[in-house]
Amino acid sequence: MPRWLSFLLWFVPILTLLGVAHVYLYRRLIRDMTAHRGLRRGAQVLLVSGFVAAAGFRSVGVWFPSSESVRILGIGLLTWMGLLMYLFFCTLAVELVQRVVSWRKRDVTPPSEALPSQPPSPERRAVLTGGLAVGAGVAGIGMSGFGAWRAFHPPDVNDIPVRLPRLPRALDGFSLVQLTDIHVGDVLQRHFIDELVARTNALKPDLIAITGDLVDGSVSRLGPYVTGLGALRARHGVFFVTGNHDYYSGATSWVAFLERLGITVLRNRAVSIGDAGASFSLAGVDDWSAFRMGEPGYDLDSALREVSPDRASVLLAHQPSNFDEVARRGVGLQISGHTHGGQMFPGNLVGDLVWGSRNAGLSRAGDSQLYVSRGCGFVGPPMRVGAPPEIARLVLMPG
């Protein structure tokens, strides 16, 4: 599928939902609240401006990529989109509850006791509408504020014990720390990277794996921030596989940049971790969707060509896609990201519907296991609700 078509299939529904949300909120929180022409006109200008700016801010970023004012504007618009979404959902929820309560009252009232219906007075309607606006506004702002705090708060360290088939006993307790979906860009920059590196190094891992979607931008723009990853330290090294956003940002250039930092990039190949007495195979594949951008992309055959079936094996793959085939090939553990665990409620519920148990956490297919991290950063609105960011520390044990 051409990239432009993939973009349209993603962008058009989002734009439609955004437009519906703006219109709905104006009707419920402005038009039904006040008849003041000036206030209505001001709200119309604000909402229309917010919609147009939110829909087109990416294009402005392309035209003025190095402008700090545009960067700040972009952060503000992404925050506006998140706030608007939660105001929309909260207002809609409150209205639905009111309607259900009204219907239930109507159903339980015996016809013989029913009084002639009278339209509510303008004063009572104003009180009810005002209560709706205040309740929905407090809930929406509260959820947005919590989500922003959680997104910028350092990721939690999540310890996951994993029994890996054929792992030598000498490697019992081997710690593999996964960083994924950091999304360095206009919002998350060098300070976030430095803090992430410090927290990761404090875990004293045996191996660090970065499983894609590291950046949202070019090497020339984001290189000074990503340089901080060169300070990562692990006994058996730091490894990287590409994600779809890395391809949007120029994967070839980023691979060369990361290799100069001393990070080993696994592009459809495997290496041995350990020594002659105790070791396992670590393989990595390019992103599953890279072929859509005209890249060779995911090649499981090449990645597993030198992986012996009688050795313990771990596969780094950005997306949890194709895990059933990976399990059929006898790989003991796949480590992935990509889903963000849904990132923002109700996205986490949608993610569960789309990915099932593979949306986040540890799952199994036969004798093989898959761990999908919720990721360290975020994409889109700078918020995390119902899917907190994480640094995953997988502790390997003989299976």
108 pLDDT band (50/70/90 cuts)? Answer: low
- pLDDT score of 129 more than 70: no
Q: Which residue has the higher pLDDT, 226 or 29?
A: 226
Confidence of residue 107 (pLDDT cuts 50, 70, 90): low
How wide is the angle at C-alpha 196 spanned by C-alphas 192 and 201, nearest 5°?
150
Domain 156-398: assigned CATH number: 3.60.21.10
Residue extents of the structural domains in the chain: 3-109+121-150, 156-398
Confidence of residue 293 (pLDDT cuts 50, 70, 90): confident
Whole-number pLDDT of residue 230 = 97
Each residue of 22-52: pLDDT tens digit?
A: 899 888 888 877 788 898 999 898 888 878 8
pLDDT at 177 over 70: yes
pLDDT tens per residue, range 300-332? 999 999 999 999 999 999 999 999 999 999 999
Determine the average pLDDT of the residues in 199-218.
97
Pick from 58-72, 98-112, 185-199, 229-243: least confident: 58-72
- Which of the two residues, 391 and 63, has the higher pLDDT score? 391
- Name the nearest CA neighbour of 188 among 177, 178, 179, 176: 179
Average pLDDT over residues 227-256: 97
What CA–CA distance (Å, rounded) separates 250 from 253? 6
Cis peptide before 388 (omega within 30 of 0): no
The yes-or-no verdict on residue 58 having pLDDT over 60 is: no
Task: Quote the pLDDT of residue 10.
Answer: 63
With tokens 């005002």, the residue in question is 130
Whole-angstrom CA distances from 148 to 309, 374, 380 are: 45, 16, 12
The pTM assigned to this predicted structure is: 0.87
Least confident of 3-7, 315-319, 377-381: 3-7
